[in-house]
Structure 1
Amino acid sequence: MNKPLINDIAINAEQADLIEGQGYQVHIVRTSRRKTASMKVEDGVVSIVVPKSLAHERIQSLVEAKHQWIIEKLAIYQASKPASEKHYVSGEAFPYLGRNYRLKVLQGELKGAKLLNGRMTVTVPEPEAQRHYVRKSLENWYLRQAQKKIREKVERYRTVVGVETGVIRIKEFKSRWGSCTPYGDLEFNWLIVMAPNRIVDYVVIHELCHLIHHDHSPSFWKEVERVMPDYLEHKEWLKEHGHRLGF
């Protein structure tokens, strides 16, 4: 419904390493699916996707050749990004299915976000200078949880609603939490898992009921109420607090 989705290629410390540039770091992603190298700067993160066997020295040369381009892209990002209430430092709280988990940023070899002992942990080589990696790791973690949890809920509630579903996608939305097609395909905004668990249930039930009624007619809301008698409470919560979900 809002906030950008994460990159197609997630940051994975086990498949990548870093090149130190002049004032920035370049994240190397090796893959057997590419025969040529490509570079991108997204959300302040510089990455280069390269064939798995490409020599490190060659990658270094490619990065050096693109130095001015990288600097310009990073400058544009810094000038255009909105002010954020989050600083991605230890102690900040991040919600997941109705509970707040404190962030713990550790120093060491780059590792993605994990939920351990009631804390959200992320490991980066330089915590103070690499908050963009902390943010990206958290986004990747939320996307993975959304893919798992939302699919579980669709499977649970589709039989209650009495519908068959098609493809289920977890993606970015600018102005809504979910959508459906007449063919049974469902799409959900991954940020919804930052809401309480029953709010996620409501969004899933809402979209499933649209497979019966493709509008917001009284018949549609009656179907939602049949499955979730207290849906109005969750609908109002989402209307009042939904804009706060995100990074």
Structure 2
Amino acid sequence: MKILLMMSVSMVAGAFAASELETSKTEFAEADKQLNVVYLSLKKTMPEWSFKQLQPDQRRWVSYRDAMAERAVFDLEGKVKDVKTKADYWSMMAGLTWARVDVLNGWAAVAEEGKWLGDYSDSYGGGMSISVKEGKLHFKIDVVRGLSHHVGQISGVAEINQSYARFSDEGKGREGVEGKTWLDFEILDGARIKVRGVNTSYYHGARAYFDGTYVRVEHPESEGCSQ
């Protein structure tokens, strides 16, 4: 009787795992289809020079997505023979792909000149929130980078000069660390902001970084956050 019970439990668990796998595959297929729709739409509507900037980034992102999905399986189950037989692989693929759809939609957007407000993503584990209060840029950046999951966080207030802004921590609150941390923000075409950092290692792990092109994925209209 005990053996029959164990066999029954094993069969139920196997059926559940198979169902979960198929559900995850379906979710990814839907996300991938939408990604292709948006990408092809951009190819038709964006200026040729702008789309050529997107193409290498898209190829880089696909490699990043696949590597992160494989890593998700390894983190949960260790080394497996075929990651594509695991629901966690397809769930991660789906989640990252849906997030990329939002970013590509951001590439298609045309930002109003001088506008900063919004939540941004760089598609590689970096997120940024920006508001403008009394003519100054208030920002927060959180990152989780690469297969090693090195993290970083920085926030502050930057001085705005038209489509540029600069933050400096003035070297304060960093005993034993020489120099200052700078972050430069530049509004690019569309709803994109280029971030460049100097001497930022105090705020992140060894393999983490804040630099990148962040694309607006949400434009909240919240009280106290204005242009």
Specify if TM > 0.5. no
Q: What TM-score range do you get, normalising by the shorter chain?
A: under 0.3
Scaled by the length of structure 1, the TM-score of the pair is 0.26
Scaled by the length of structure 2, the TM-score of the pair is 0.27
